Amino acid sequence: MVSIALKMYCLPKLCLSISVIQWTIFVLMKSFDVPIIYRSPLITAIKKKRKEQDKMKKDFTPTLLDFGRLQIYLARHFGFCYGVENAIEIAFRTVDDNPGKRIFLLSEMIHNPQVNSDLQAHGIQFLQDNYGKQLIPFDELQADDIVIVPAFGTTLELEKKLNDIGIETEKYDTTCPFVEKVWNRSEQIAKKNYTVIIHGKPRHEETRATFSHAAFFAPSVIVKDLEQAKELGKYINGEKPPARFYEEFKGQYSEGFSVTKDLERIGVVNQTTMLASDTQAIADHLKQVMIEKYQLTNKHIEERFADTRDTLCYATLENQQAVIGMLQADADLAIVTGGYNSSNTSHLVELCEEKLPTYFINNEEKIVSSQQILHYDFHKKQEILTSDFLPKKEPVKILITSGASCPDALVEGVINKLAGFFNSTISTEKMVERFH
């Protein structure tokens, strides 16, 4: 059965037909050929050791790196996920296999500045920015050009545009299988006449792609958070006049959407990188609204509310659980590394911020000195220079994690930078030996 599942995955769009068990086995077995510059001997050794000790992935306690005066607690799960490694491998292999050809990416491959810069250095050009703004006009494309679809996926409209030019999109489609899983779930509930409610960031590439696929099959609405879901609930139960919906949810509903008809049966799916607890709260709230409006018993809930299983990707969920486990440690601060426009990384920052001072950086150079750190405030969308971020005590205890699009090499760089401030006699090379 495993060999059949592996073959099926190699065919575009067919990964959705394999069972959950087959898919889990495949993810655990699959490895990728990504550039060595993204790897870290230390992180690789740690992850290998933890995997050997916890094959079922039930232990979310962090890994302690004891440098003496500095103690680092490293999250159980972090860094490149399956979909990211798959996309990176395909992108670099595409460059190697097509010398002299023009190669484009629809937008950023993933939300990591180093990886995207490396791809551009290899001659790949971006057609759009993160928000769909055109950087290179489609009318400049030719049928023999290569266009790579990023891990976030793309809209049906963009796919058709490229196909009409004569460009094969399936051949270089790196859409994450877990994103396609959401599309599949949307189609399933759409065929049962449910309207699709998508929890996601309206301008995010993945949300736009999911909305496009969902709206092809059924009326669809994007809600960005619980507060907006509560407002949607008011249209469901009649507290708000239907006419206001079209302004309040402008740009977030499908063409021809009818507030009076299309909110009678609903189901919730999500952008795969959202906070699991947020999606659950949205689903719970909307479910309760439907129960109260239609006086439903547990037996009849599915008449109005679709039973959708969680559509977060495994890496997003594991990384969030690992942060929750990491936060049980007695620490002074947390450092989260990743792209500033990375949704899944920002949610890890949110979790850490609830408990202790948290610094969001995209590489070790943002740690200016032992006194200053230049970090990103994703609430205000700006970098902030903070002084005296390291407490004057010993040992200093720091929690560290990273997003699913962050290379392990960057995390090791952060660890080395911090260790250097404490004149540790334990090098990362010696630390690697401890995990062999």
Looking at the fold, whether 338 and 380 belong to one and the same domain comes out as: yes
Q: Say whether both 373 and 394 belong to one domain.
A: yes
Q: Are 317 and 78 in contact (CB under 8 A)?
A: no
331, 430: one domain: yes
Q: What is the number of residues in the chain?
A: 436
Model confidence band, residue 29 (pLDDT cutoffs 50, 70, 90): low
Q: At 30, is the pLDDT very low, low, confident or very high (cuts 50, 70, 90)?
A: low
| pLDDT tens per residue across span 239-286 | 999 999 999 999 999 999 999 999 999 999 999 889 888 999 999 999
Among 54, 176, 85, 64, residue whose Cα is nearest residue 408: 85
Cβ-based neighbours of 395, under 8 Å, separated by 6 or more: 68, 69, 70, 71
Taking each helix axis as running N to C, give the angle between helix 41-53 and helix 408-420, from 0 to 180 degrees, rounded to the nearest 10: 110
Q: What is the largest CA-CA distance in the chain?
A: 69
pLDDT higher than threshold 50 for residue 1: no
What is the pLDDT confidence band of residue 108, given thresholds at 50, 70 and 90?
Answer: confident
User: What pLDDT score was predicted for residue 12?
Assistant: 34
Among residues 280, 303, 326, the one where a domain terminates is 303
Strand partners for 105: 126, 148
Q: What pLDDT is attached to residue 399? A: 98
* Residues 81, 87, 93, 97, Cα dihedral to 10°: 170
Is 59 in the same domain as 100? no
Q: Do 191 and 298 have their domain in common? A: yes
Q: Is 336 exposed, middle or buried (0-12, 13-18, 19+ CB in 10 A)?
A: buried
Residue type, 378: F
Helix (H, G, I), strand (E, B) or coil at 394: coil
Predicted local confidence at residue 311, as pLDDT: 74
Cα–Cα dist 291/300, whole Å: 9
Q: Using CB atoms within 10 A of its CB, is residue 166 exposed (0-12), middle (13-18) or buried (19+)? A: exposed
For the chain, what is the radius of gyration of the CA atoms? 23
> So what's the pLDDT on residue 434?
86
Same domain for 139 and 207, yes or no, is no
Domain extent at residue 373: 35-81+314-434
109 plus 142 within the same structural domain: yes
Q: What percent of the chain has pLDDT over 90?
A: 80
Shared-domain flag, residues 340 and 411: yes
CATH of the domain at 333: 3.40.1010.20
Residue from 85, 159, 205, 206 carrying the catalytic annotation: 206
Identify residue 166 by its one-letter amino acid code. G
How many domains does the chain divide into? Answer: 4
Mark which of 277, 303, 329 sits at the end of a domain: 303
| Domain identity same for 189 and 284 | yes
User: Which band of pLDDT confidence, cut at 50, 70 and 90, is reported for residue 20?
Assistant: very low
Domain-located, residue 356: yes
The phi-psi region of residue 153 (left if phi > 0; otherwise alpha if psi is between -120 and 50; otherwise beta) is left
Higher pLDDT, 41 or 31: 41
Do 219 and 107 share a structural domain? no
What would the DSSP string read from start to end of 194-241?
PEEEEES-TTSHHHHHHHHHHHHHS-EEEE-SHHHHHHHHHHHTTSS-
Residue 308 lies in a domain: no
At residue 380 the predicted structure's pLDDT band, cuts being 50, 70 and 90, is very high
Determine, yes or no, domain membership for 2. yes
- CA 256 – CA 337 distance, rounded (Å): 42
Domain membership of residue 77 (yes or no) is yes
**Over the stretch 62-79, which tens digit does the pLDDT of each residue have?**
999 999 999 999 999 999
**Cis ω before 113 (30° cut-off from 0):** no
In a domain, 290, yes or no: yes
How would you label 351-384 residue by residue, b for 16+ Cβ within 10 Å and e otherwise?
bbeeeeebbbbbbbebbeeeeebebbebeeeeee
Kindly state whether residues 324 and 423 are assigned to the same domain. Answer: yes
CA-based nearest residue to 106, from 5, 52, 174, 35 = 174
Q: What's the CA gap between 363 and 414, in Å, rounded?
A: 7
In a domain, 177, yes or no: no
pLDDT at 320 over 60: yes
> What pLDDT does residue 155 have?
95
Position 110 scores a pLDDT of 83
Neighbours of 323 (CB within 10 A): 26
Structure confidence by residue, pLDDT tens digits, 169-211: 999 999 999 999 999 999 999 999 999 999 999 999 999 999 9
Both structure tokens of 229: 């879901």
Q: Is 206 a catalytic residue?
A: yes
Distances (CA, A) of 21 to 24, 55, 175, 270, 404: 5, 15, 21, 22, 23
Mean pLDDT of 150-171: 94
The residue out of 282, 303, 324 marking a domain boundary is: 303
Question: How does strand 70-74 pair with strand 63-66?
Answer: antiparallel
The answer to whether residue 178 sits within a structural domain is: no
Residue 65 pLDDT: 96
What is the rounded average pLDDT for all residues in the chain? 90
Pair (368, 414) in one structural domain: yes
* pLDDT average, residue stretch 366-379: 97
* pLDDT tens sequence across 69-105: 999 999 999 999 898 999 999 999 999 999 999 999 9
Domain assignment present for 179:
no
- Residue 164 CA to residue 170 CA, distance in Å, equals 13
pLDDT the model gives residue 62: 98
Find out whether 104 and 93 touch, Cβ atoms under 8 Å.
Answer: no
The CATH number that applies at residue 111 is 3.40.50.11270
Q: Is residue 361's pLDDT more than 70?
A: yes
**Greater model confidence, 228 or 427:** 228
